[in-house]
Amino acid sequence: MVSPPFGDQTTGVASTVSADGSHVLVQVQADTSVGSITTGTTPKAKTVAKDLDTLAERTEAMDSSLTVQRSGNIDQEVGIGISAVELVGVAIAAIVLLITFGSLMAAGTPLIAAAVGVGVGMLGILATASITDINSTTPVLAVMIGLAVGIDYALFIVSRAREYLADGVDPAEAAGRATATSGGAVVFAGTTVIVALCGLSVAGIRFLTTMGLASAAVVAVAVLVALTVVPALIGILGKRLLPRRRRTADDGADAERQPASLWVRAVTRRPWVTIGAVVVLLGLCAVPASGLRLALTDNGFAEKGSQQRETYDAVAAAYGEGYNSPIVVIADVSQPSGSVAAVQGLAQELSQLDGVEGVSLATPNQDGTLAFVQIRPEKSQADPATMELVRSIRSHADDYESRYGLTDLMVTGQTAVAIDVAEELNAALVLFGIVVVGLSLILLMVVFRSVAVPLTATLGYLLSLGAGMGAVGAVFGWGWAADLLAVSKVGAVISFLPVIVMGVLFGLAMDYQVFLVSRMREEWNRRRGGATPAARHEAAAAAVKAGFLGSAKVVAAAAVIMTGVFVAFVHTDNVYVKPIALGLTVGIAADAFLVRMTLIPAIMVALGEKAWWLPAWLDRLLPVVDVEGESLEQALEQEEADAGQSVRPETDSVDDQAEDAEDAEDKEAAVVS
């Protein structure tokens, strides 16, 4: 159906000629709904688009003063393939892995694992797309998250396996031990991310639910690959995972000069100064997040130069920004004979509301039982004024119904639906945040048997989240570096951004926390004790530093890889993925380097032995959960110790015989002399 551009008073259609007469808008409506589109519709859509383009060319040829432009994307096809963005992320990861491990085999193992995980996940998404609709953003988001966590999870397991291999453990045994220890942390982190992504379904919006479930499925595959494919590769490659030239153990002086040692000594020398500096810095970074607006963005945020964006801007310039965001009001008419008067009265009153530019269409249906009014807001759908307009109409629905003899008055249309989705996600965000923070407190308390560790870990997570969201607010809200990052439009970001950033960042932050602090606890269990409080405090500080040295390199490498993958996606053209990638880039960097490797060691040293305090009654209530396989490590150490004791008597007897022989020689020498 083609709407008459000059209007039709008999049907209530308003003219689409601009106020200055320089533009006219011809609206073409398909004879099928979006929900009924199938793969067989694609050729027809391409034919229609081609015919419209041909008509535009002919019209311009008839009058050179005219410019005809087609809007919409009915002929656009979305493909799934490897882009330069993914390749850049993989290249960054490969370089970091090679530097970290010093072995091509070790560097390639996490990359292979990530490729397998993402590949299997994408095959699943493609298979799902053959039976149901999937938003074009879904595969991009799934690849970004799957690639990052796939490399990260495999990295931790390979790193632990290399430690066992360096100690002379058999490759098969090393693979099993690494999976039993670091694999627990992988399951812990992966489960958290999966729960967060599934949280997108709380809004009850189909495309958001599909997006969240698809990304969660890719993460689940990444976890399974890390627990199956990676151990198999470790068993196959064995000692080849170690550098070709085995380095000798560093002496004490060399260890003191290592960057990690210098760093941890610097940040713990005056721990309270470090704590204050990090908290203030990350707090300031979070300030721009206060002005961040969340919405379901429209074509006004599309890539500059795209057909959708150019048409949107042209319509906004000629008719006003709100012309692209019509609001539809419908209601049942109680008296069909008076439907025309009822519709006209409703349209007249709606046109007088603040924020309304005009009425585009006001008409009853053919049998006079339904009133249909389409209004043009002054601002776009992402603008707070348009959101307030929708709320205002809904709040006065009862008044309109009684005044014009209507029932069941509702506000709908794409603009209203987008606003509803954004508000529903915003409402769910608070509950989601409480669940995430509460989950972190409970899980970390169970894992570390401590009150201070989960509290400080959660505080650090909130600071990192604030920094990540602050970066998004500064760029997409305030416009800082918007041109540098090729941001198409400043003003609002996609409404499901906080849920994804919160979930993914939480999973990775807790992974880093478990990896770092578990090593510190292992050292504390070896050193704990001391006759005086000062001695115990010194032992606790030494445990923090020793644990940091044992894990800092791997955590730093994982964070650099994560940041590299996400920063590559900051330069994507996808307006949904770009702000998510930016938030995760800054959030991961802040969490790894400022929180886990700076703030947490300073807090642990400042607290001393109190960092490991847990009330006895709470210790009895909490279940025993061994995420990092500490009990396995202790059992293996005890087994090795027992094996050593069984051999030691025989060895001691040989030594005793040697000592007796030496004593006899000494006595003989004394007699001779």
- Average pLDDT of 227-239? 94
Percent of the chain with pLDDT over 70: 84
With both helix axes pointing from N to C terminus, report the angle between 497-527 and 577-589 in degrees, rounded to the nearest 10: 20
Q: Which of 185-194, 308-317, 634-643 has the lowest mean pLDDT?
A: 634-643
Statement: residue 534 has pLDDT above 70:
yes
Are residues 43 and 52 in contact, defined by beta-carbon separation less than 8 angstroms? no
- Residue 630: the pLDDT is 64
- Residue 174: the pLDDT is 92
Residue 188 vs residue 583, higher pLDDT: 583
Q: Which of 151-165, 193-207, 285-299, 485-499 has the lowest mean pLDDT?
A: 193-207
In whole angstroms, how far apart are CA 222 and each of 190, 440, 559?
8, 22, 17
Q: Which of 466-475, 483-492, 654-663 has the lowest mean pLDDT?
A: 654-663
- Which pTM does this prediction carry? 0.80
- Average pLDDT of 293-322? 80
Statement: residue 562 has pLDDT above 70:
yes
Statement: residue 650 has pLDDT above 60:
no
State which fold the 327-412 domain adopts.
Answer: Alpha-Beta Plaits (3.30.70)
How confident is the model over 238-266, as pLDDT tens digits? 999 988 765 444 444 455 557 888 999 99
**DSSP string covering 526-582:** HH---SSHHHHHHHHHHHHHHHHHHHHHHHHHHHHHHHHHHHHHHT-S-TTHHHHHH
CATH code of the domain occupying 281-323+435-622: 1.20.1640.10
**CA gap 47, 285 in Å, rounded:** 51
Statement: residue 34 has pLDDT above 70:
no
**CA gap 216, 20 in Å, rounded:** 51
- Residue 10: the pLDDT is 57
Give me the phi and psi of 380, to 5 degrees please.
-75, 170
- Cα atoms in the 13 Å half-sphere on the side-chain side of 89: 32
Residue 248 vs residue 356, higher pLDDT: 356
Provide the mean pLDDT of the chain. Answer: 82
Q: Which of 88-92, 270-274, 346-350, 407-411 has the lowest mean pLDDT?
A: 88-92
- Residue 251: the pLDDT is 46
- Average pLDDT of 389-399? 93
- Residue 530: the pLDDT is 67
Statement: residue 117 has pLDDT above 90:
yes
- Average pLDDT of 297-311? 78
Statement: residue 79 has pLDDT above 60:
no
- Residue 232: the pLDDT is 95
Statement: residue 531 has pLDDT above 90:
no
- Residue 13: the pLDDT is 63
Give SS3 for 356.
strand
- Residue 245: the pLDDT is 62
Classify the C-alpha dihedral 207-213-214-215 as positive or negative.
positive
Are residues 438 and 502 in contact, defined by beta-carbon separation less than 8 angstroms? no
Residue 527 vs residue 642, higher pLDDT: 527
- Average pLDDT of 525-544? 82
Q: Strand pairing partners for 412?
A: 328
Structural class in CATH, domain 93-245: mainly alpha
Statement: residue 150 has pLDDT above 60:
yes
- Average pLDDT of 173-198? 85
- Residue 632: the pLDDT is 67
- Residue 651: the pLDDT is 44
Classify the C-alpha dihedral 171-110-247-256 as positive or negative.
negative
- Among 49-58, 173-182, 309-318, name the most confident range: 173-182
Residue 80 vs residue 499, higher pLDDT: 499
- Residue 80: the pLDDT is 57
- Residue 392: the pLDDT is 93
Under the banding of pLDDT at 50, 70 and 90, the label for residue 77 is low
**CA gap 245, 256 in Å, rounded:** 23
Under the banding of pLDDT at 50, 70 and 90, the label for residue 167 is confident
| Single-letter code of the amino acid located at 654 | V
- Residue 648: the pLDDT is 47
- Among 128-132, 262-266, 438-442, name the most confident range: 262-266
- Residue 672: the pLDDT is 39
Residues 491-516 as b/e (b if ≥16 CB within 10 A, e otherwise) read: bbbbbbbbbbbbbbbbbbbbbbbbbb
Statement: residue 670 has pLDDT above 60:
no
For residue 231, the Cα-to-chain-centroid distance in whole angstroms is: 27
What are the tokens at 587?
């959030």
How confident is the model over 10-23, as pLDDT tens digits? 555 666 777 777 77
In whole angstroms, how far apart are CA 437 and each of 161, 293, 550, 614?
32, 23, 28, 20
Residue 510 vs residue 610, higher pLDDT: 610
Statement: residue 481 has pLDDT above 70:
yes
Q: Which of 148, 298, 157 is nearest to 215 (CA)?
A: 148
Under the banding of pLDDT at 50, 70 and 90, the label for residue 74 is low
Length of the chain: 673
